[in-house]
Chains A and B, each alone.
Chain A
Amino acid sequence: MGDERILPRTDGGLERRGLLKCMVWAGTGVLWTMSGGVPRSTLLASAAASEMTEAPAGAGFSFMQISDSHIGFANAPNTDTPGTLREAIGLVRQQKGDAALMIHTGDVSQLSKPAQFDTADQIIREAGLETHFVPGEHDVLVDDGQPFFERFTKGGERGWYSFDQEGVHFVGLNNVQDLKAGGLGNLGRDQLTWLERDLAGRASSQPIVVFAHVPLWTVSQEWGWGTDDGAQALALLRRFGSVTVLNGHIHQIMQKVEGTVAFHTACSTAFPQPAPGTAASPGPIKDLPAGRLRSTLGVTRIARVAGKPGLAIIDTPLGA
């Protein structure tokens, strides 16, 4: 089996009941708990889950992730994306415990409009957490992304930047601009050069969290769900003992552990997209059964757990 595991979703499209209670520990294996009939590693998962839920303060360090709020989208299956973002922020407030910060992995807006940025900003502030953003392709539709960068990525004038928080090195990347025909997400030479310098000289024992909108690993070539030069970024990260790569864009949870690198994609707060190959296009799943929308949306909590090398990741849906 080696040290690479891919955890495909065992369900398809609309049968994602209880999809969302999942957890991954980089380096030590992958554990899931799910509320609905999906195989899981019960013993480890329940122990881990109780550790996460009963003693969040003991983790020492945790943070929240939200993604793909798409403020401005108002079609099936969600005509109230500000409303579901507000619900997500409510859930963040419930779950945050001692969380030090929050990240937003892009597509804050639907069309990069100032009013959409305003609405998102106002709602996200209600979390009461310092929030670090990276752009999605929907956020850089105007003036090469400058309005987004000025507002949401201060200190990263082209949408990428890094910072340290309680011993963890965070790297926010922009892989949504200068895309090539027929290609995937793109980091570009300038950003890779910056990343190399940013990581140089850091101890390999320092935990690294990389966050970017489009998955850095190829989830679906056909639907463009990957990053053309993602492998070059990952090569720079390989020497580190704990690397957690957090992405959005695909509006569903996918995860994989490869060596010391854990990959995880978050749910949207706006609408779900189909699993690769299960629909004609990656567009929104419009025909959700009544009342099921909130089971497909969610927030993510990431925590360092004492005695574990990697970070634990728990996704929680907005509703049943």
Chain B
Amino acid sequence: MIRCSLLARTLFTGGLLIGAMPARADETKVTIDNFTFSPPEITVTAGTRVTWTNRDDIPHTVTQSGTPRLMRSPPLDTGDTFDFTFDKPGEYRYFCSLHPHMQGVVVVVQEAPGKQS
């Protein structure tokens, strides 16, 4: 199921954005503004470090939705950051454990064979 949706997503993003996604950078940023993860969905290659920055005046967390809960930030006050490196392909859904209506997803895809990171 996950594999199917992943494949579809990879084809879709690759076709539409002509190689602009998934992000090849080793680092990708997500901000938290107005109780929203922005962008709410990102696609990265395995090995990418993603950094979240809370720009709200209210604390938030970045907490993996499913189990095992590999990703679980401490409370992030205004200006605080949290980073996590995604080593394995998969679809990582997360939310704010204080404001659970806030949700996001990191889709991690395998880097194309032969590519150097």
Q: Is the CB of A223 within 8 A of B101?
A: yes
Residues in B with CB closer than 8 Å to A179 are 97-98, 100
Q: Is the CB of A183 within 8 A of B100?
A: yes
Interface string of A218-229 (1 = CB under 8 A from B): 000011100000
Interface string of B55-86 (1 = CB under 8 A from A): 01111000101000000001101100000000
Q: Is A182 an interface residue (CB 8 A)?
A: yes
The distance from the CB of A96 to the nearest CB of chain B, in whole angstroms, is 31
Q: Is the CB of B34 within 8 A of A280?
A: yes
The distance from the CB of B97 to the nearest CB of chain A, in whole angstroms, is 6
Q: Is B52 an interface residue (CB 8 A)?
A: no
Q: Is the CB of B95 within 8 A of A182?
A: yes
Q: Is the CB of A222 within 8 A of B101?
A: yes
Name the residue of chain A whose CB is nearest to the CB of B36: A281
- Cα A224 to Cα B36 in complex, Å, equals 13
- Cα A111 to Cα B97 in complex, Å, equals 14
Q: Is B49 an interface residue (CB 8 A)?
A: no
Q: Is the CB of A111 within 8 A of B75?
A: yes
Residues in B with CB closer than 8 Å to A180 are 100
Residues in A with CB closer than 8 Å to B77 are 111
Interface string of B76-112 (1 = CB under 8 A from A): 0110000000000000011101111101000000000
Pick from A75, A224, A284: contact of B100, CB under 8 Å: A224
Residues in B with CB closer than 8 Å to A184 are 100-101
- Cα A222 to Cα B100 in complex, Å, equals 10
Q: Is the CB of A75 within 8 A of B59?
A: no
- Cα A286 to Cα B101 in complex, Å, equals 22
The distance from the CB of B84 to the nearest CB of chain A, in whole angstroms, is 16
- Cα A184 to Cα B56 in complex, Å, equals 20
Q: Is the CB of B101 within 8 A of A141?
A: no
Residues in A with CB closer than 8 Å to B103 are 181-182
Report how many residues on chain A are interfacial, defined by Cβ distance under 8 Å: 24
The distance from the CB of A254 to the nearest CB of chain B, in whole angstroms, is 18
Q: Is A240 an interface residue (CB 8 A)?
A: no
Q: Is the CB of B99 within 8 A of A224?
A: yes
Q: Is A138 an interface residue (CB 8 A)?
A: yes
16 A-B contact pairs sorted by A residue (CB < 8 Å): A75-B78, A112-B75, A138-B59, A141-B74, A141-B98, A181-B95, A182-B103, A183-B100, A223-B101, A224-B99, A280-B34, A281-B35, A281-B36, A283-B35, A283-B56, A283-B58
Q: Is A188 an interface residue (CB 8 A)?
A: no
Q: Is the CB of B98 within 8 A of A281?
A: no
- Cα A169 to Cα B77 in complex, Å, equals 38
Name the residue of chain B whose CB is nearest to the CB of A279: B34
Q: Is A97 an interface residue (CB 8 A)?
A: no
Interface string of A70-112 (1 = CB under 8 A from B): 0001011000000000000000000000000000000000111
Q: Is the CB of B100 within 8 A of A283?
A: no
- Cα A23 to Cα B89 in complex, Å, equals 56
The distance from the CB of A75 to the nearest CB of chain B, in whole angstroms, is 4
- Cα A281 to Cα B58 in complex, Å, equals 11
Q: Is A137 an interface residue (CB 8 A)?
A: yes
Interface string of A5-44 (1 = CB under 8 A from B): 0000000000000000000000000000000000000000
Residues in A with CB closer than 8 Å to B36 are 281
- Cα A183 to Cα B95 in complex, Å, equals 10
Q: Is A282 an interface residue (CB 8 A)?
A: yes
Q: Which of B36, B58, B63, B75 gathers the greatest number of chain A CB atoms within 10 Å?
A: B58
Pick from A76, A137, A222, A281: contact of B34, CB under 8 Å: A281
Contacts A280-B34, A283-B35 given; does A224 touch B59 at CB 8 Å: no
Known: A182-B101, A284-B57, A286-B57. 9 other contacts (CB 8 A): A75-B57, A138-B59, A138-B98, A141-B98, A181-B63, A182-B95, A184-B101, A224-B101, A281-B56
- Cα A222 to Cα B36 in complex, Å, equals 12
- Cα A111 to Cα B99 in complex, Å, equals 14
For chain A residues 145-202, which have a beta carbon within 8 Å of chain B?
Answer: 179-184
Name the residue of chain A whose CB is nearest to the CB of B58: A283
